[in-house]
Amino acid sequence: MNTVLMLTGAIAGVDKQAAIIVVVGYLIVFLALVILYLVFRYVMPLFFKLKLYRRAAREGRHLDDSEKQELTGEVNAAIATALYLYFDEIHDIESNVITIRKISKSYSPWNSKLYNMRNL
């Protein structure tokens, strides 16, 4: 019962302006994500088609249906598999064994205790 009273007291103590700022902040981020989705989903393909038509017009040819084909799922899967296998081959196979050899030197000025002692 005390936790419920503490919770309602904490909620009542929240500044209304702070709550408005939080809600507006979330709305701005959400709307920005929706706008980015719409741009990438609908506007970018439109720009790519426009670029394709301009290139064809510059070269003096007309686009037929064979050039307008989009890649199917099978073609995308084949390309992704080929890229995966290619990049997997590039990485060399290691033995996963680390060998640490201790090399002892007779004298090194960096670890000599002689220089750390005070001569009185």
Q: List, for residues 5-22, the tens digit of each pLDDT value.
A: 555 555 666 788 888 999
Question: What is the chain's mean pLDDT, rounded?
Answer: 78
The tokens for 92 are: 């060399």
Find out whether 54 and 63 touch, Cβ atoms under 8 Å. Answer: no
Model confidence, pTM: 0.41
Domain ranges of the chain: 2-86
The tokens for 85 are: 């296998």
